[in-house]
Amino acid sequence: MASMTFDLEAAIRTIEDYPKDGIQFRDITTLLGNPSAFRRAVDELVHPWAGSKIDKVAGIEARGFIIGGAVAHQLSAGFVPIRKRGKLPHETVRVAYSLEYGLDEMEMHRDGISPGEKAILVDDLIATGGTAEAAVKLMKEIGAEVVAAVFVIDLPELGGAKKIEDLGVPVRTLVEFAGH
């Protein structure tokens, strides 16, 4: 486990003070561009569910689409996009969630997951957990059984993973970074 974590951590680039002062932006484009790190990350994320039946993988726009698509393929599951308001063409369910400044809204297609289907939520990183919490609410609203939420990166000081576990959804993360 330790060596796996080390490899992946080394493949993630940190940009200081982006997008604003005081934020250490964890840039996964370097991980995605590294063939063995990308494969490793996807393999490790899906490991607990290898061989079990997962119907759908829901990915959060935009980096969650890239990892979520690969995770869905690996699990032989369908992929469902969770997008910013106004981007999806068919009937949607919508939820508001708070960002550091103000509110945003995300949507998914109402028929993206059928009631009772087993689904996994994917994003690149969990910080405060506000984004993932909103996504879990959408998935539950349309009747999904949310089996897990998985993220390459956890910022544990911000408490997001705990917030999602408190909703009854197990969380899997691969690399932890201190701070914001």
List residues with catalytic annotation. Answer: 63, 100
CB 117 within 8 A of CB 144: yes
CB atoms within 10 A of CB 89: 6
In the chain, count H helices and then E strands.
6, 9
Place of tokens 């917030």: 163
Q: How far is the CB of 117 from ligand AMP (least distance, A)?
A: 23
Distance between CA atoms of residues 23 and 170, nearest Å:
27
CB closer to ligand AMP out of 50 and 99: 99
Dihedral sign computed on CA atoms, order 86, 67, 19, 104: positive
CB 122 within 8 A of CB 68: yes
CB closer to ligand AMP out of 72 and 117: 72
Residues that bind ligand AMP (CB under 6 A): 23-26, 60, 63, 123-132, 160, 180
Alpha helix segments (H runs only) across 47-178 = 63-74, 130-141, 160-165
Q: How far is the CB of 25 from ligand AMP (least distance, A)?
A: 4
CB closer to ligand AMP out of 78 and 130: 130
CB closer to ligand AMP out of 24 and 34: 24
Q: How far is the CB of 33 from ligand AMP (least distance, A)?
A: 16
